Structures are given as C-alpha cells and as structure tokens.
Amino acid sequence: MAAARSRVSLPIFRAKNSSLITDSWRRFARLFVIQNHESSSASADIPLLQKLLKAPVSRIKSTLDSEFSYGSADFPWAALLSSLNTSAPQKANLLKRPLDFLPMLKRHGFLIQCCIRSKTFEDAQIYFDEMILAGLMPNETIFQNMLIMYCQQRNCNRVKEILKFLPNGKWRMDRKMAKQVANLYFELGLVEELEELLVILSESDQTSEVLSLVYCSMIRLYADKDRLDDVEYSVGRMLKHGISFSCEDDVEKVICSYFRKEAYDRLDLFLECIRNFYELKRSTYDLLGAGYRRAGLLEKLDMLVNEMKLAGFAMCSLRGCIRVKGL
C-alpha cells in the first residue's frame, strides 16, 4: 500500500527514450568526462579507493554498499575511476556498471544531483523523466534539486509542475528556496503564479516566514502597479492569518503607491491596520514625512513628528530636510 501511494504521474514529465539502461549509462559516462576537471591526485585522498583496491572482485558490490553515501555529488568519482582504471581495470568496470544495484530512486537522485552540479541540465531532466515514467515519486532532495534547476532555467511551467509534489511529500521549503521561486515570479510579473504558490505552501503547512515572503512578493507586485484594492485585500488576508511584513522595503513600496495615487485616507487606514503587527522603522517615518510634506499635509506631518518622538527616534526638521523616496 505504501509503495502504491508513493507512485504518481504528471503529464508534463515524459521519458525521452525508452531504452533507459543503455541511454542512462551513456549519459553517466559523459558525466564522468565532464567531471574530469578534478585533479588525478585527488584520488590519493579517497579512503574508498584503498578499500576497493584491497577488496577482492567478489566483494566490490558489498564494499560500495557499505561506503556509498547518497547525495554525495561532490565526491570525486572521476578521480576514483581514473585510479582504478590504472591499477585495477576489472574493478573499474564493475564500478562503472553497477549503480544498477542501487534502488532506482536513490541512483537517479544521485545522478540528477551530479548533472545539476555540472550544469548538464538536459541530462538531469531525462533522469527525472525516467524516474517519473517508472511511477516513482521524487524524494525531498530530488524535489529541491529539480526546483532549483528550473528556477535557474527560469522555466515557470516546470516550476509549477514540480511544486505539485510538495503537498503530497509533506516537505519543508526553506526561505532561500521559496525566495528563488517568489523572485522568479515577481521578476516576470506573474501574480497568478504567486497566488498559486501561496495556496500550495499553505496546504503543505509551510512556516509563517516562508508564507510571509510570498505574501510580500505579491503585495509588492500589486503596489508597483498601483493596484490598491489588491494590495489591501492581500494585506488583510495576510494579517488575518497572523503573518506580517518582514522588511521595511515592502511596507515602503505600499506607502509609495498610496502617495502616487494621492489616497491619503486609505494610507491612514493601512498604517492603522499594520500598527499592531509591524513596528515602523526610521526610514519608513522619513518616507511618510517626505510624502506629507510634498502633499502639503502639514497637520499630518506634525502628528508624525510627535509619533516619532514617542518611538524614540532622534529628530531632524521633517518640514525641510527629507528627500522624497520612490514617489
């Protein structure tokens, strides 16, 4: 039953060649050539090499079983093979053939990671497609590696498809990875994709820090386009779920949008809404002072000066010294 539940199929992922074993090893051989930039002297520092040289041919498989570490894409395989080819060709041939004896998920996960490290993205995709065609669901490491690769390629369709594995896998997405996806969508102006990302991350029970990052990317995009209705809806939804802004830049993007639209009453409401969730920074007070001064709202400017005093900020003449930022 557990094995059945782990098998999934997505239509976008399809193997490109049916003769999987032959093509896999052809690509694997090419991968070793690509990685051959490592110095041959590195092999002398590989403990596994000494064990393989000492072990009889009949024990090569068991030695690899005991020593092989999944995810070790930095392991100098090319140097190891080079040394074995020189001193024990028969053992080298055994080592080249038999990632076969590893489970397919583990074997392909390792090869995918090696391909991504060596920038052979096409081969990484083919290994992934082979795995999906075999009915296997990626593990967390494979998911992360493929997602990073798709972000580097700026392939939004692939990003959306790989993200569908997230709720089923119940994995955690760290801030760095979530930022890569959110930044990709933000740079391309893909608001709907940010909304979909937020739904997926919420359904997979990600941390509030990660959710805040996506909310803020979406709000910043709306603010850049002066879509105040969407800004306010998104801010309200974010605060309702107990999540707030994580940096002053996002708050200031929203404030600039209000000033550009001359929506001063709505700006007051926005500031009131976030007051209990977010503490304004000095740069934000400076921005507000510049905007009020430019708009001739001297009463609001005086109120802001008093608020800054209560917040403990050193004062300058807000009526004359602040430059307008982003307005």
Among 112, 102, 115, 162, which residue's Cα sits nearest to residue 137? Answer: 162
Residue 100 half-sphere exposure toward CB, CA atoms < 13 A: 12
Question: To the nearest 10°, the Cα dihedral for 65, 69, 72, 76?
Answer: -50
Q: Which residue has the tokens 């052979």?
A: 120
Q: What is the value of pTM for the model shown?
A: 0.68
**Can you give the residue ranges of every domain in the chain?**
1-170, 172-279, 281-327
Q: What is the pLDDT of residues 129-167, one digit of tens each?
A: 988 998 888 889 999 999 999 999 999 999 999 998 887
CB within 8 Å of 129: residues ≥ 6 apart: 13, 14, 15, 16
Task: Dump pLDDT digits (tens) for 157-196.
Answer: 999 999 988 877 678 888 999 999 999 999 999 999 999 9
Average pLDDT over residues 208-231: 95
DSSP code of residue 38: S
Distance CA 287, CA 301 (A): 11
pLDDT tens per residue, range 60-83: 666 666 655 433 444 555 455 555
Tokens encoding 250: 């996002």
